[in-house]
Amino acid sequence: MGSYQCRYMHSQPAHSEPRILNRMWSMSLYRPDRDHCKDPTLFSVQPHTDSQLLLLLAGNEGSVRILIFSAIARPTLIFTFVYPPSFAVPFSTVSSVYYHFNKEMVALYKFIFSLTLCHAVLAATADQWRSRSIYQVITDRYALPRGADPTKCNPARQTWCGGTWNTLRENLDYIQNAGFTAVWISPVSQNYQGPRTAYGDPYHGYWIADVTQLNERFGTADDLKALSDEIHRRGMYLMVDVVVNNVMSTSLTPNLSTYFFKDKSQYHTYCPVDFSNHTSEQVCWLGDDKVPLPDVNTTNPTVISAYSSWVKQLVQAYNIDGLRIDAAKHVNIDFWPIFCRAAGVYCIGEVFGDDIGFAAQFQGPQSMDAILQYPMYTALVEAFALPGPQNMSALTDMVQQSKAKFKDNGVLGNFLENQDLPRWHNLSVDMQSLWNAMTFNFMSDGIPIVYYGQEQSFSGSADPMNREPLWPSNYTNTTTYQFMTKLNYLRNFLINSTNDWLTSEMKILTTTNTGMAWIKGGVISIVTNIGSPPANISTAVHTPWQSGFATTDVLSCRQFAVGSNGTVQVEYTKGGQPVILIPESILWNSGLCSFSTDTSVQQQPKSQLVSSALEHFRKPASGIVLIILFVLGLVLLGVVTI
């Protein structure tokens, strides 16, 4: 179940919180000191004991949130309880129940308050990550401390620029306002400490020395905990990059005393990697003779045990929700189930290359939860990059292959950029090529991942020029940032308001040399590779809808007419913009394209609200918790005795 600890829940509603909270006045959170969680008598409700209390129940697929407000003057949030704890957000259905508590209920309130704050921290599973969207950052390059010189960071110099865990924490609004629900940060472990190398300094965090120690360049343990707490307060998940395949050296005969693993038997003997031989990829050293990366022997029982203990402690100490695993294919595959089981959280690995058959073996119980979708990335470049082959069939073929070979496409990582690849804008000069590719990543199967700066049209080539500082952009609200925000808003809305969009498998409806259309959970997305210039081209999409069916493109807010044979005609006389068609019956209450926000929750009779709220307690786990709390509450109040 994990370690027991107090956790603060968020006091401000995130974008995907129940709308009823958004209508309330500003709220202040009663935040008891976490060190007091074992003493329920310290959780006094003063000055709220003489007032009426407001209880809000909200639920989502087995998770329950209980929020208690004071009704004095204006609603004041006293505490929040979520079961399971990992389900902080989102919610697909919200119902509210109002109870007036008298003074006799205060004892029960205090009991539940202390019980729920001192809960077991449950791991975030792959299925919970399915609904997330991820913003990836290199800690050193995301934000500067106040007063630092913003002109001093040249990525070509390959040295530190000054970003820290604290500066990331202080600038999370930029990520959350774009609708992201998870943050992926670069490795946190201690790196090489020594003279500058032929390839600069370890500003990126991937040159590991002692994996069990934190990188002091980025802050202290308290700083990392504060970042984790703030990310969770906002309802987001924290993903941390980890490196276990290798350490870093400046010599082919390193001094092992400076590393966590100090015995020669805990490393493979030096040999240069032959990338055409998978055994060589697993046992030989990455890097070169200038900066070799000694390969850790992950078949050694001592290494396995040490890594398992470390990752378990890391996850628990900093409340980490997921791990991105560097160089996953360079480690023997049977190591990963042991490592990921010890971590107890979602694991997504880097399996670099476009061989989908090879990549697919790294997903499943024999390895890990998911991988980054490099084969799909390659197909996206082939399909959309301008200039480029504009091979749309490569994308449709990869979709079909992915369905056949991967065990669960919905938890794979979709991306267009990262720290090891050229920026999209370096490959493709056309903005619509980016937007169409982004639409695929957000609206198809998988978890969308955006590498920091993609929304600012950064154009760096390979390492190190693709690791630019973000602050020279002034965090501008660019058109791509706005487009990304709309995609996130739409995806979060569909997750929260429909029963099947997230878990439905995409099905290709139409494919041509210039476009592709697919349906997922009743939503049809159409992309094209023609670019921004207007073209006398159209795509006929054969839909399951009947003639006259009401549907709207949420990106342009245009209505589309469904023809007599269920066909929708998409024309590109104004350029190659992506189209996302959603039935108007789904769009009501979305706030998209002038579809009004639902106010019916406030108009329902109380009996209906109670009934709707209780629907969410019918899952077995939630029911057990409610029964236990109810019985213990009665015992506490003296209604029953044991």
Do 518 and 508 contact (CB within 8 A), yes or no?
yes
> For residue 231, which of 411, 482, 9, 5 has the smallest C-alpha distance?
9
Look-up of token digits 């926000």? 597
Look-up of token digits 């208690």? 68
Where are the strands (E) in 361-514, listed by range?
370-371, 413-414, 447-451, 507-511
> For residue 427, which of 374, 396, 384 has the smallest C-alpha distance?
384
d(CA 338, CA 315): 15
Alpha helices (H) in 76-220, listed in sequence order: 106-117, 126-129, 139-142, 165-169, 173-176
Active site residues: 326, 350
> For residue 374, which of 348, 407, 350 has the smallest C-alpha distance?
350
Q: Give 372's DSSP letter.
A: B
d(CA 343, CA 297): 19
d(CA 67, CA 9): 10
Who contacts 329 (Cβ-Cβ below 8 Å, separation ≥6)?
Answer: 278, 281, 282, 349, 350, 351, 352, 353, 358, 359, 362
Class of residue 536 by CB neighbours under 10 A (exposed 0-12, middle 13-18, buried 19+): exposed
Query: DSSP states of 431-470 as a string?
Result: HHHHHHHHHHHHHSSSEEEEETTGGGT----STTTT---S
Q: Length of the chain, please? A: 642
Do 636 and 108 contact (CB within 8 A), yes or no?
yes
**CA-to-CA dists, residue 619 to 63, 92, 614, 616, 622, angstroms:** 8, 15, 10, 7, 6
DSSP β-ladder status, 237-242 and 182-185: parallel
Look-up of token digits 């749309």? 392
DSSP β-ladder status, 93-94 and 134-137: unpaired
Where are the strands (E) in 259-352, listed by range?
286-287, 292-293, 322-325, 346-349
d(CA 382, CA 399): 13
- Output the CA torsion 121→169→413→206 (10° steps): -100
Handedness of CA 341, 346, 351, 352 (dihedral sign): negative
- Tokens standing for residue 123: 């791991």
Query: DSSP states of 65-106 as a string?
Result: EEEEEE-SSS-EEEEEEEESTT--S--SEE--------GGGH
Q: What is the CA radius of gyration of the chain?
A: 26
**CA-to-CA dists, residue 89 to 9, 251, 472, 492, 606, angstroms:** 11, 48, 32, 10, 24
